[in-house]
Chains A and B, each alone.
Chain A
């Protein structure tokens, strides 16, 4: 193979970047670290979640309003699900952002897809957080046989 005419200029290591693409922050590095840290925590949170809900007891066939109410009667499971919601949504949104950046080639397409992504993130995280904190295990007027056993008799 013949040598091409002009060798590309390679700046010395650690020399400051110039022109287009210069950033003041390390947001991408922190998101890279976050993916690994949150991934490790999510592994424990989600495997436990899957075991308790799908493997232990009667699994999926036992899940109903009473099951959820019984779990969220405990602050531990409220906290568990809250952390799982936030970490999983940030982890997933960050991953989707990477996928959009990789495959959406037009600036406008990237903008629309990311706007939709961040809207979905906000709606789901706000909704999920409100549900966990405002949940009432014994709603007034509900049929007693659908409620957990600790609810007072109507």
Chain B
């Protein structure tokens, strides 16, 4: 297979960068999913083992990581709906750019609802 030709960066604006972001977020979510099944499997070892590992999810650094994970999932989910509309809705392709900004808007609203609550749980001290 030949190497990719050089100097042909595809400047596809919103459509291309959304595709890149969908791919990057999907990649990250997949690796979290592998870890998440493994950590949950510790309930089968002992309550102490599970509580010890899940305890690490409660420290501030991991708490910020969880915020990032939720952000990745929310974007991937909303953009996934946009992809389905592009594929299956007769006017989807024409409105793909508008739908990108709708995705951004819904993402901001969702995260504005989630972040204060989650950060309160992480930094609230209880």
Q: Is the CB of A46 within 8 A of B47?
A: no
A92-B57 contact given A61-B124, A68-B43, A131-B44, CB 8 Å threshold: no
Interface size on A, residues (CB 8 A): 43
A63-B57 contact given A54-B66, A92-B26, A99-B27, CB 8 Å threshold: yes
Q: Which residue of the partner chain B has the closest CB to A148?
A: B47
Q: Is the CB of A60 within 8 A of B122?
A: yes
Q: Does A50 sit within 8 A of B, measured CB to CB?
A: yes
Residues of A contacting B120 with CB < 8 Å?
59
Contact of B47 among A39, A63, A124, A143 (CB under 8 A): A143
Describe A's contact surface by its main secondary structure.
helix
Q: Does A30 sit within 8 A of B, measured CB to CB?
A: no
Contact of A68 among B27, B50, B66, B114 (CB under 8 A): B50
Contact of B41 among A40, A131, A142 (CB under 8 A): A131
Residues of A contacting B47 with CB < 8 Å?
64-66, 139, 142-143, 146-147
Q: Is the CB of A58 within 8 A of B66?
A: no
Q: Is the CB of A36 within 8 A of B84?
A: yes
Q: Is the CB of A63 within 8 A of B26?
A: no
Complex Cα spacing A126 to B125, Å: 37
Q: Is the CB of B118 within 8 A of A142?
A: no
Per the 8 Å Cβ criterion, residues 19-73 of A in contact with B are 36, 39-40, 42-43, 46-47, 50, 54-55, 58-61, 63-66, 68-69
Residues of A contacting B80 with CB < 8 Å?
36, 39-40, 43
- Give the Cβ gap from A108 to chain B, nearest Cβ, in Å: 12
Q: Is the CB of A135 within 8 A of B66?
A: no
Residues of A contacting B81 with CB < 8 Å?
40, 43
Residues of B contacting A39 with CB < 8 Å?
77, 80, 84
Per the 8 Å Cβ criterion, residues 58-81 of B in contact with A are 58, 63, 66, 70, 73, 77, 80-81
Q: Is the CB of A36 within 8 A of B43?
A: no
Which A residues lie at the B interface, using CB under 8 A?
36, 39-40, 42-43, 46-47, 50, 54-55, 58-61, 63-66, 68-69, 85, 88-89, 92-93, 95-96, 99, 105-106, 120, 124, 127-128, 130-131, 134-135, 139, 142-143, 146-147
Could you give 11 example pairs across A and B, Cβ below 8 Å? A36-B87, A43-B77, A43-B81, A55-B117, A65-B50, A85-B37, A99-B23, A128-B41, A130-B44, A131-B41, A146-B48
6 shortest A-B CB distances, which residue pairs?
A59-B121, A65-B47, A146-B47, A92-B30, A39-B80, A128-B37
